[in-house]
């Protein structure tokens, strides 16, 4: 993959028509190092967030050796990593996929949230004696921007039977949960760990692992989470206060927090109608979260051969390239008021759940991928004054737009 110092270099060299996905693996390396240094347990990377080889390699180089995979295809992507351990933490799996994970890739760690799934894992592995079973608990997701609690998790009241059955059949027993993605309040982890403790007491079982899941946040315009250090302090404190700390290993499964900063996308403006920009990327592409979850990603205009940095910022909404009217990203996205056809819009913070969500709908899925060495638009790991100022400007401009 070609390397460029900056996005301007990409544009000058490629003059791209199709959207260009820019990887910043150095940011994934930085995030991984931070987690490995600051989390008092094992760090599993949730591959679903960004399965690009360039990001996976960066995380591995930084020292990540545990990977949460949801499917055989994701396993294939990480299977060449030496000394790595793979976990299948998707609570509902096809029996054939369980068997492939166990027999072909050596996966021993599986999560379940009901008796039928436990039975399925046992049967698909030939009632193996070396399984590590994680019981996934339903926990409060109210502090997250992307709740995941409706689909998975056994409620506390029903958890004792499942924990006891898993204990009887597993070499090692774990309890896991997910507080929801982009969790804005570290106290959500304390609540969830307290609930896990109650489940362990009710079932009267010993657990070998407590898995606090993913959910660690990234910075987006108007959304500045507390420093990640606060999250670690709360988790470590709550773990110490729980029975699990007597003999259990602590693990976490960050996806977004390790790779959100590691990707941006350069798309071009094909038409402007008032404050609506028609772009070459949209809801069926890397802007899925901007459309369906109304995420306001940071944006920057690039104009080849001219400088429009001084123009006043104003709020825009985006339409994507497909014929579908739900291909719409409301924003508002703050861009120079003179932006128009032929200008490029770089959308930042798309490293998590950006490229991995792209579809081939209407044939708009191809474009070059490059590596860029500059800094991301926002960072949880390198938050200097300049970035703080940019973020503050964006928030002010956003507020002004909303009050118009």
Ligand X SMILES: Cc1ncc(COP(=O)(O)O)c(C=O)c1O
Please give the residue ranges that form the binding site for ligand X (CB under 6 A). 46, 49, 68, 89, 148, 178, 181, 213-216, 253-257, 352
Q: CA-to-CA distance for 58 and 340, rounded, in angstroms?
A: 36
Which residue from 289, 286, 316 is spatially nearest to 394, judged by alpha carbons?
A: 316
CB of 6 to ligand X, least distance (A): 28
CB of 46 to ligand X, least distance (A): 4
Nearest residue to ligand X, scored by beta-carbon proximity: 214
Residue 7 or 112: the one with the smaller Cβ distance to ligand X is 112
Q: CA-to-CA distance for 316 and 115, rounded, in angstroms?
A: 49
Helix or strand or coil: residue 301? strand
E strand or H helix that includes residue 57 = helix 53-62
E strand or H helix that includes residue 69 = strand 66-69
Catalytic residue from among 22, 114, 183, 323: 323
Rg (CA), the chain: 22
Residue 91 or 332: the one with the smaller Cβ distance to ligand X is 91
CB of 337 to ligand X, least distance (A): 35
Residue 97 or 178: the one with the smaller Cβ distance to ligand X is 178
Bridge partner residues of 345 (DSSP): 267, 301
State CA 370 to chain mean position distance: 20
323 is catalytic: yes
Which residue from 256, 279, 259 is spatially nearest to 335, judged by alpha carbons?
A: 279
Bridge partner residues of 68 (DSSP): 46, 87
CB of 107 to ligand X, least distance (A): 14
Residue 212 or 244: the one with the smaller Cβ distance to ligand X is 212
Residue 172 or 256: the one with the smaller Cβ distance to ligand X is 256
Helix or strand or coil: residue 124? helix
233-259 burial by CB neighbour count: b if 16+ within 10 A, else e? Answer: ebbbebbeebebeeebebbbbbbbbbb
CB of 140 to ligand X, least distance (A): 15
Helix or strand or coil: residue 376? coil
Residue 10 or 46: the one with the smaller Cβ distance to ligand X is 46
For CA atoms 200, 203, 204, 205, give the dihedral sign: negative
CB of 41 to ligand X, least distance (A): 15
Active site residues per annotation: 323
């Amino acid at each position: 993959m070609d390397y460029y110092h900056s996005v301007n270099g990409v544009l000058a060299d490629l003059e791209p028509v199709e959207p260009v996905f820019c990887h910043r693996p150095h940011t994934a390396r930085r995030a991984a190092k931070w987690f490995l240094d600051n989390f008092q347990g094992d760090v599993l990377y949730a591959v679903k967030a960004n399965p690009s080889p360039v990001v996976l390699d960066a995380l591995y180089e930084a020292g990540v050796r545990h990977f949460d995979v949801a499917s055989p295809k994701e396993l294939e992507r990480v299977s060449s990593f030496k000394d790595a351990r793979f976990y299948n933490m998707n609570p509902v799996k096809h029996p054939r996929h369980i068997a492939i994970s166990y027999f072909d890739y050596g996966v021993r760690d599986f999560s379940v949230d009901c008796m039928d799934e436990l039975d399925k894992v046992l049967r698909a592995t030939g009632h193996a004696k070396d399984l590590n079973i994680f019981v996934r608990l339903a926990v409060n997701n109210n502090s997250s921007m992307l709740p995941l609690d409706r689909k998975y998790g056994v409620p506390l009241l029903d958890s004792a039977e499942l924990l006891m059955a898993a204990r009887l059949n597993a070499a090692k027993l774990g309890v896991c949960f997910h507080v929801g993605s982009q969790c804005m309040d570290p106290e959500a982890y304390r609540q969830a760990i307290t609930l896990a403790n109650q489940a362990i007491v009710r079932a009267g079982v010993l657990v070998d692992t407590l898995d606090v899941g993913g959910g660690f946040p990234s910075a987006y315009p108007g959304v500045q989470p507390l420093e990640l250090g606060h999250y670690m302090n709360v988790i470590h404190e709550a773990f110490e206060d729980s029975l699990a700390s007597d003999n259990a290993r602590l693990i976490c499964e960050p996806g977004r927090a390790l790779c959100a900063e590691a990707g941006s996308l350069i798309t071009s403006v094909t038409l402007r109608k008032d404050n609506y920009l028609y772009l070459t990327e949209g809801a069926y592409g890397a802007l899925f979260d901007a459309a369906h979850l109304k995420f306001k990603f940071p944006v920057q205009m690039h104009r080849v051969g001219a400088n429009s940095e001084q123009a006043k910022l104003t709020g825009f909404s985006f339409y994507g390239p497909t014929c579908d009217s739900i291909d719409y990203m409301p924003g508002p996205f703050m861009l120079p008021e003179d932006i128009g056809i032929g200008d490029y819009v770089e959308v930042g913070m798309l490293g998590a759940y950006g490229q991995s969500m792209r579809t081939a709908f209407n044939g708009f899925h191809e474009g070059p991928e490059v590596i860029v060495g500059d800094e991301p638009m926002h960072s949880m790991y390198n938050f200097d004054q300049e970035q703080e100022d940019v973020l503050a400007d964006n928030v002010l401009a956003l507020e002004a737009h909303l009050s118009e």
